[in-house]
A and B are shown apart, each in its own frame.
Chain A
Amino acid sequence: MTDARQAILNAVRQALGRSASVEPAPRDYAAQPPPRPSWREHGPERFTRKLERVAGSCERLVELAAVPAAVLRYLEGLGDDRRLLVAPDPLLQGLEWPAALQRSTHPQDARRYPAAVITAALGIAETGTVVLPSGPHRPPSMQLLPDHLIVVLRTEDVVDYVEDVWQRIAAGTLPRTVTFMTGPSRTADIEQTLHVGAHGPRRLHVLLVG
């Protein structure tokens, strides 16, 4: 394997007309940010608008304490099933959940439960995206397997641009995965028309708190 590595790096260097690596030239283009969309509304408003554009839904809540009731309302809107996966996030675990809900915290239940509620670390106003780093509080299977995904996001955690995410999640502390999720899963592979609910959640509902 080391031979193959050497072979490829040597081939690359040869192609570049070099026998040894040199420090790359400065990335001049990075002196200023790229052209990006701009907007007049507040970040959370822009976030909501962009999310709704891609068939996500968003509900504003005043405080975290209102989350459990909002989640129950959401499930009631779907039918009789009260099974709910709650992410092992102290923020969620510390709330007062109604007895009517049949809760679980185990990732294995993600394959059977119709709905899950998780927290987002950040939201991105540019695109209406929730930022979901993997970790002990956020097992990715919970955000991928259930049909319905409810995401709790605080308004103070809504940043403007994609690049801003990396200011808040420092490069040195990246977890295994950071998923930017924007709306429910979709495909256009049949007759090039858009259909929601491919492999990931069919519905993405954000509770925007604050």
Chain B
Amino acid sequence: MKSTAHLFPEQARAALTDENLQAALRFAKGGFIDKRAASVARYPDFETLRERGRRIKDHTLAHLDVYLERFAAAVEARGGHVHWAPDAAAARSILLDICRRAGARTVIKGKTMVGEEIGVNAALEEAGLEVVETDLGEYIIQLAKEPPSHIIAPAVHKTRAQICKLFAEHHGSPDTLREAPELVAEARRVLREKFLAADVGITGGNFLVAETGTVVLVTNEGNGDLCLTLPRVHVVLAGIEKLVPTLDDAATMVRLLVRSATGQDISTYTTFITGARRQDEADGPDEYHMVLLDNGRSRMLGDEFREMLRCIRCGSCLNHCPVYNAVGGHAYGWVYPGPMGSVLTPQIIGLDATKDLPNACTLNGRCQEICPVKIPLPDLLRRLRALQFERGLIRGPQCWALRLWGWLARRPALYHGLTALIARLSPRGAARRLPLDSGWTQSRDFPLPQRTTFQRAWSRQAKEERRHD
């Protein structure tokens, strides 16, 4: 997917005044937060579960080579084909090749963020294939020709009115404001035809279980299961960091994932896929392919961003982030929005293209508090800022002001003299305008100094006391 992350400031500003988006975001915010909170409150000792999730992930990452090999061997032993994609281009090429060999004309897809990451839809469509998203949210944004704005609810930014219009345009249904159940039923009807006609089904994988070569797929709609049952060919696309050692470990991760994502106790469909169709099975694809994607993950494994690889794509950090809740996902300009996106996107597409993402954060820490695998997101964002600073990527008057401040602050005598002078000369009250600033005073008054600094007043007071002794 092409990135517009470098346009974050403009996109964020536009988002703040987009009425439709703001209405949609208001709808979404409380729901996600409250549902997760209720579900976590009901769970006995969720904090211990989080810690276990962190340990499962850290253990797996520390031995990722072994677990990847075991997983691949197990998949192959069950008749699956394993493909290794070092980067996005390789992954696209592999998927195209699979579809071509299968003589495919129609491809149906379950929701896969990795699919967006590598831009698989555009690549397949360019090759003349019809690609249909089957997750309702993904389907809606496919019709709207937009990228997803949330990793769990891709069409969260769309109002019902907008969805009605899209359906009317593409399905020929009545162009009126209809109720949601009617829209869901319509999508079911339309997409059912696609399910039945498709040649290839591409899904993601929430977890990859090394001990058995099993892919765990978590959905609520049933579209994932249809994608992996009806077409002749099933392809799973997943990042190499999705490994967990055992089926039992997967159970812990699923418990963390669904509660964090939607506040459910379990998703409607949790499906474990192990290998190709057996000889005595009537249903199921003829071919089963597993595409493992690196695309920067092995590099993150070896540097200070390894903790980000724990991410299980629950979307909870987005839901709790004040910045995400104010501007939505599109402002971030790429596949992954919110806190996790602000760390991951620079890792995958580079710091140069993503200057704002690590900085558009107040470091309030809510994301870290609720992350099911305890990723220290604010620390990782700070590390990205340090990298930016090191590489001279941050320029501008604010940068110089900060440097000057740091320089002065290291010279206490000069600092105290200068600040006392500023305090004495400054007008009182609050300023509507400040020299050299537009950031603060464009929308806020600035409370001014109060005749003296604390240090000056304190030392004057000490002098007085010494005089009286």
**Most B CB within 10 A of own CB, among A127, A135, A186, A198:** A198
Give the distance to chain B from A145, nearest Cβ to Cβ, in Å. 8
B460 contacts chain A at the CB level, 8 A cutoff:
no
User: Looking across the interface, which residue of chain B has its beta carbon closest to that of A108?
Assistant: B282
B278 contacts chain A at the CB level, 8 A cutoff:
yes
Give the distance to chain B from A118, nearest Cβ to Cβ, in Å. 12
**Most A CB within 10 A of own CB, among B63, B268, B269:** B268
Q: Which of A25-33, A63-71, A94-102 contacts B (4 or more CB under 8 A)?
A: A25-33
Which residue of A4, A16, A185 contacts B222 across the interface (Cβ within 8 Å)?
A: A185
Give the distance to chain B from A178, nearest Cβ to Cβ, in Å. 4
Tell me whether B248 and A166 are in contact (CB under 8 A). yes
* Given A16-B302, A176-B274, A199-B192: A187 in contact with B184 (beta carbons within 8 A): yes
State which residues 151-210 of A face B: CB under 8 Å: 161-163, 166, 171, 174-193, 195, 197-201
Tell me whether B298 and A189 are in contact (CB under 8 A). no
Which residue of B45, B180, B268 contacts A200 across the interface (Cβ within 8 Å)?
A: B268
Q: Which residues of A contact B146 (CB under 8 A)?
A: none
User: Looking across the interface, which residue of chain B has its beta carbon closest to that of A191?
Assistant: B160
B444 contacts chain A at the CB level, 8 A cutoff:
no
* Given A1-B83, A171-B211, A198-B221: A29 in contact with B301 (beta carbons within 8 A): no
B153 contacts chain A at the CB level, 8 A cutoff:
yes
Tell me whether A12 and B240 are in contact (CB under 8 A). yes
User: Looking across the interface, which residue of chain B has its beta carbon closest to that of A161?
Assistant: B251
Tell me whether A21 and B298 are in contact (CB under 8 A). no
A50 contacts chain B at the CB level, 8 A cutoff:
yes
Q: Which residues of B contact A28 (CB under 8 A)?
A: 55
* Given A25-B59, A185-B222: A12 in contact with B64 (beta carbons within 8 A): yes
Which residue of B52, B135, B281, B303 contacts A136 across the interface (Cβ within 8 Å)?
A: B281
Which residue of A135, A140, A162 contacts B251 across the interface (Cβ within 8 Å)?
A: A162
Give the distance to chain B from A49, nearest Cβ to Cβ, in Å. 12
Complex-state Cα separation, A122 to B266, whole angstroms? 16
Give the distance to chain B from A203, nearest Cβ to Cβ, in Å. 12
Instruction: With A176-B281, A184-B268, A200-B269 given, name 6 new contacts (CB 8 A).
Output: A4-B83, A12-B298, A12-B301, A15-B301, A162-B266, A185-B220
Q: List 9 A-B contacts (CB under 8 A).
A: A9-B65, A24-B67, A27-B245, A35-B46, A144-B226, A171-B212, A174-B274, A176-B275, A197-B181
Those 9 A-B pairs whose CB atoms lie nearest each other, nearest first: A200-B222, A15-B302, A198-B221, A11-B298, A139-B283, A15-B301, A189-B137, A24-B63, A35-B45
